[in-house]
Structure 1
Amino acid sequence: MPHATARERRTRRRGLRRRFTARDLAVIGVLLGFAILLDLFIIWGPTVASITLSFSSWDGLSDLNWVGGDNYDTLAGGDYPPFWPAVRNNLLWIAFLGLVATPFGLLLAVVIDRGVRFSRFYQSTIYLPVVLSLAVVGFIAQLVFSRDQGALNAILGNQDNPTDWLGDRDLNIWMVLLAAGWRHTGYVMILYLAGLKAVAPELKEAAAIDGANERQTFLRVVFPTMRPVNVVVLVITIIESLRAFDIVYAINKGRNGLELLSVLVTDNIIGEASRIGFGSAIAVVLLTVSLGFIVTYLVQEMRGEERR
């Protein structure tokens, strides 16, 4: 059997040589090699550097001083006050986008997929915020939720005693989440619209013949069929939640109740303090949280595929 396997490998190699000339293989090698080197330089290089620097105390100019796990002890022990509020806010972003904005985007996709009148108009209008960056969404949020000249206070008639939607620590995080959810909903809607179009009509017809109503058909047939789309939506939701930066920085530089891990990384690495080692430790925490959510879900999905 091993001899037959070796023969098959030689046969496949000969077939590969017949299909591709030496020049073709050289071009493929150069293109793949360039892409791999670029990936290593842009993504994995800084990742490894951040992990390494997180065990140091360095300002970018003086000598590198290794401090072991002191940076992580400072974060865990509460000696850096903005850290735990930032962790709480990042988890709140995940919960809001995952449990509110994402289901709402799915609902809109289902309604539009049924062919309601002016569905093209609704689809374009709801998707429009997706083409805007979160920084622009942050500026729009300021126009809407501003205390003195905001549209919301004008609509509510609160000019005499205006509500400080973005200055009140108990309110501003929810206003920002509404603005971010407004953008995220359109993105999710488009993804689920594509998934709904890919569901075979025969599956719905078979469910109807078996006596399933529309709700049962969607929950037991359509939604499970869109499993690949569900994975993509979940990963995008987690990434969008954890990399959020622009919108809170545009509003108040991510302070006064809008702290996020990404803002703390920026403030420590390129801010006045230049605590590159400490900022790298926060970046590693952010990376760990991101990988924890995504890897856990993907492993469960792969195990589910193996069972099926």
Structure 2
Amino acid sequence: MPLRTARPAGRGGPRRFTRRDLAVLGVLLGIPVLLDIALIWGPTVASVALSFTSWDGIGDITWVGGRNYRTLFTDYPQFWPAVRNNLLWLGFLGLVATPFGLLLAVLIDQGVRFSRFYQSTLYMPVVLSLALVGFIAQLVFSRDQGALNAMLGHQDRPTDWLGDPGLNIWVVLLAAGWRHTGYVMVLYLAGLKAVDSSLKEAAAIDGASRTQTFFRVVLPTLRPVNVIVGAVTVIEALRAFDIVYAVNHGRNGLELLSVLVTDNIIGEASRIGFGSAIAVILLTVSLSFLVIHVLQELRRERRA
């Protein structure tokens, strides 16, 4: 029995969908959901399952339980330096690059001269991939032919910016922060443009200074942007891979969890189960930071 056609609004009863409407909705919603399951959730669940196995990608899959995780925590010397570097990456982006991007957004929003030029220039690194940023870092910080050593006049005793394990992580963080700052600036600039100017005027009438107006009036209205920036910062810090791989394949002081996943899964000695265990640890840490951050922001909104 065919479904009834949709009734015009205001002529009694809710609108009923025809089979054609249901088919269109099924296609428009079903295809993205299937792609999401196939490309995101499917590999995620498979990684969790494979983390409890031993598999080289060709032979039989052997169940080993939690052995991969025990080896990871107790007998894999690259793991803890990678964790430290990822946390250092997160701290630098969250405590240095993100506040600096907010500062630039505030300065540009105040209408300084040539603001369009500054905005375009500061955003330009965002369009570059992290791999390309890594190549640029090599051109600038290379020991023998780098621009920085040439500018400092260190040709006789050049500083090995990218080869010294005590220096290279900070150099790479500087390059990654250069790109991250422009992205954060644009996000906050969009949020600042949406702030009601009457709120600022009311604060000025009450005698509040610019600093007081920003922290007590403007910043609380940027909470939705803070959630987005926080999520972007965590994701950028924990999935960092391209730039260190372009510099030295993530070795000699530049170890990251993402590099360890790649080395174990597609390296010379393929250990898909062990690499999946590292990926699960990375996923867990990422979700933990994101969930805690989002819950804190939601609680603040409820209290407000």
With normalisation by structure 1, the TM-score equals 0.93
Q: Distance in 2 between matches of 1:241 and 1:102?
A: 12
Report what 1:4 is aligned to.
Answer: none
Report what 1:154 is aligned to.
Answer: 150
Q: Distance in 2 between matches of 1:15 and 1:255?
A: 63
The amino acid of 2:71's aligned partner reads: T
| Most deviating of 211-220 and 24-33 | 24-33
Q: CA deviation at 1:252?
A: 0.3
Q: Distance in 1 between matches of 2:15 and 2:188?
A: 39
Deviation per residue, 1:121-177 (Å, 9 max, x gap)? 010000000000000000000000000000110111100000000000000000000
Structure with the larger helix share: 1
Please report the RMSD computed on the Cα atoms of aligned residues, expressed in angstroms.
1.3
Q: Distance in 2 between matches of 1:278 and 1:96?
A: 29
Q: CA deviation at 1:21?
A: 3.9
The amino acid of 1:48's aligned partner reads: V
Partner residue of 1:299 out of 295, 298, 301: 295
Report what 2:3 is aligned to.
Answer: none
Q: Distance in 1 between matches of 2:50 and 2:171?
A: 36
Q: Distance in 2 between matches of 1:168 and 1:222?
A: 43
1:194 aligns with 2:193: no
Report what 1:38 is aligned to.
Answer: 35
Report what 1:28 is aligned to.
Answer: 25
The amino acid of 1:57's aligned partner reads: S
Write the mapping of 1:234-245 to structure 2, written as runs, cut at 5 A.
234-245=230-241
Q: Distance in 2 between matches of 1:252 and 1:219?
A: 42
Write the mapping of 1:264-283 to structure 2, written as runs, cut at 5 A.
264-283=260-279
Report what 2:6 is aligned to.
Answer: none
Report what 1:206 is aligned to.
Answer: 202
Unaligned runs of 5+ in 2: 1-9
Deviation per residue, 1:232-281 (Å, 9 max, x gap)? 00000000001110000000000000000000000000111100000000
Q: Distance in 1 between matches of 2:83 and 2:237?
A: 11
Partner residue of 1:49 out of 39, 46, 50: 46
Secondary structure of the corresponding residue to residue 15 of structure 1: coil
Write the mapping of 1:1-308 to structure 2, written as runs, cut at 5 A.
14-17=13-16, 20-77=17-74, 79-308=75-304
Deviation per residue, 1:202-251 (Å, 9 max, x gap)? 11011111111000000011011010001000000000001110000000
Q: CA deviation at 1:298?
A: 1.0
Runs of 4 or more off by more than 6 Å in structure 1? Answer: none
The amino acid of 2:55's aligned partner reads: W
Deviation per residue, 1:59-95 (Å, 9 max, x gap)? 0111111110011111111x11110000000000000
Q: Distance in 1 between matches of 2:303 and 2:117?
A: 42
Q: Distance in 2 between matches of 1:218 and 1:170?
A: 38
Q: Distance in 2 between matches of 1:43 and 1:33?
A: 15
The amino acid of 1:16's aligned partner reads: R
Secondary structure of the corresponding residue to residue 16 of structure 1: coil
Aligned pair in 2 of structure 1 residues 275, 14: CA closer, same or farther (>3 Å)? Answer: farther
The amino acid of 1:118's aligned partner reads: F
The amino acid of 1:34's aligned partner reads: I
Deviation per residue, 1:27-61 (Å, 9 max, x gap)? 01111011111000000000000000000111011
**What is the percent sequence identity of the aligned residues?**
77
The amino acid of 2:97's aligned partner reads: A
The amino acid of 2:118's aligned partner reads: Y
| Most deviating of 293-302 and 45-54 | 293-302
Q: Distance in 1 between matches of 2:104 and 2:295?
A: 29
Q: CA deviation at 1:301?
A: 1.8
The number of residues matched between the two structures is 294
